[in-house]
């Protein structure tokens, strides 16, 4: 099988020219087999505050033009060691959450059934539920590392049980996650009642608060995550609002006092060697972005995750 990486600039022109696929990668239809599929999921009907994440995939692709093939910190060529390709967007309807989630699940399972791993671009955090269903179908219960300002283990809101604040509660109820191996990182968002923290623990999560980045070393935080998730299959879900609004203003529910991109990437790079079977980067809402800051952070986050997936056991 021929391996195809980023397009040749000598042949196709500079990175700012042409139609943007993620990181200027080939489309999935143009290669024989896809090891990692970058998939857009332009859905934000589950959001509870500022809408607009449906435009996230296109914005992330545009801001990914400058990504390069060699990762100098992890000493890896993520686009050479595995066939990574842009699989386009999953066409989801905006008016019915249940039907949209079913369509995402069906499309994700079609990819993972052939051994492809998914790196998804949201969309709001609702999309993590169908993606976890697909990961579970392929690998059984997975550990989840969840980078976010918010717990996302809440229950029903305005009569809806599936929305962007509930994906991990529903996933726990459905048996998709290994409840002894799940970790939140960066939590700092509002809580209505302490019982929410109790219920979050029942959903399988330990919490690393954003404040802990002030008092603990990156190495210590990474060690906790590594011990928690162990050696089994791991799914990583990133809400871009884990970053402080200074680093990611373009999101639906921004929370102050978050972590920096440098802190975030230092933790991610410490996760080398985990058995990562899938990932998502969600909640990029370009209408609130400034100078592409959030889209750039999201594009680089996905590149970091793809590199880690290429180095997985």
Q: pLDDT per residue over 136-182, tens digit each? A: 999 999 999 999 999 999 999 999 999 999 999 999 999 999 999 99
Q: Which residues contact 204 (CB under 8 A, 6 or more apart)?
A: 144, 172, 177, 178, 179, 180, 181, 182
Q: Do residues 168 and 196 make contact, with C-beta atoms less than 8 angstroms apart?
A: no
Residue in 254, 250, 257, 252 with CA at minimum distance from that of residue 288: 250
Buried b / exposed e along 199-233 (16+ C-beta atoms within 10 A): bbeebbbbebebebbeeeebeebbebbbebbeebb
Q: What six digits make up the tokens of 62?
A: 């545009």
Read off the pLDDT band of 8 (50, 70, 90).
low
Q: Do residues 306 and 119 make contact, with C-beta atoms less than 8 angstroms apart?
A: yes
3-state secondary structure of 228: helix
Task: For domain 9-310, give the fold.
Answer: 3.40.800
Full-prediction pTM beyond 0.85?
A: yes
Do β-strands 84-89 and 143-147 pair in parallel, antiparallel, or remain unpaired? Answer: unpaired
C-alpha angle 235-241-246 in degrees, rounded to nearest 5: 140
Main-chain dihedrals φ then ψ at residue 122, nearest 5 degrees: -90, 175
Q: pLDDT per residue over 175-217, tens digit each? A: 999 999 999 999 998 899 999 999 999 999 999 999 999 999 9
Terminal Cα-to-Cα distance of the chain (whole angstroms): 22
Q: What six digits make up the tokens of 307?
A: 């590199």
The domain locations on the chain are 9-310
Q: Do residues 134 and 160 make contact, with C-beta atoms less than 8 angstroms apart?
A: no
């Amino acid at each position: 099988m021929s391996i195809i990486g980023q397009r040749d600039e000598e042949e196709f022109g500079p990175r700012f020219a042409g139609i943007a696929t993620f990181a200027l990668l080939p489309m999935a239809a143009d290669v024989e087999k896809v090891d990692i599929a970058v998939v857009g999921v332009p859905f934000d009907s589950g959001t509870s505050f500022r809408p607009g994440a449906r435009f996230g995939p296109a914005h992330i692709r545009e801001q990914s033009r400058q990504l390069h093939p060699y990762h100098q910190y992890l000493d890896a060529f993520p686009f050479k060691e595995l066939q990574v390709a842009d699989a386009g967007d999953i066409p989801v309807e905006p008016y019915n959450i249940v039907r949209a989630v079913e369509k995402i699940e069906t499309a994700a399972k079609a990819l993972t059934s052939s051994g492809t791993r998914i790196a998804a671009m949201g969309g709001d955090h609702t999309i993590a539920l169908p993606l976890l269903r697909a990961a579970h179908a392929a690998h059984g219960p997975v550990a989840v590392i969840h980078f976010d300002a918010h717990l996302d283990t809440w229950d029903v809101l305005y009569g809806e049980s599936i929305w962007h604040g509930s994906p991990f509660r529903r996933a726990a109820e459905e048996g998709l996650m290994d409840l002894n191996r799940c970790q939140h990182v960066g939590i700092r968002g509002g809580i209505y009642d302490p019982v929410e923290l109790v219920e979050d623990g029942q959903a399988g999560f330990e919490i690393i608060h954003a404040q802990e980045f002030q008092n603990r070393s990156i190495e210590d935080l990474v060690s906790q995550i590594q011990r928690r998730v162990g050696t089994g299959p791991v799914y990583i879900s990133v809400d871009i609002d884990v970053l402080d609004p200074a680093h990611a203003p373009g999101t639906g529910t921004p929370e102050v006092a978050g972590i920096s991109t440098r802190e975030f990437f230092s933790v991610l790079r410490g996760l080398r060697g985990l058995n990562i079977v899938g990932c998502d980067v969600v909640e990029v809402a370009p209408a609130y972005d400034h100078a592409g800051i959030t889209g750039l952070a999201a594009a680089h986050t996905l590149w970091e995750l793809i590199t880690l997936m290429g180095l997985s056991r």
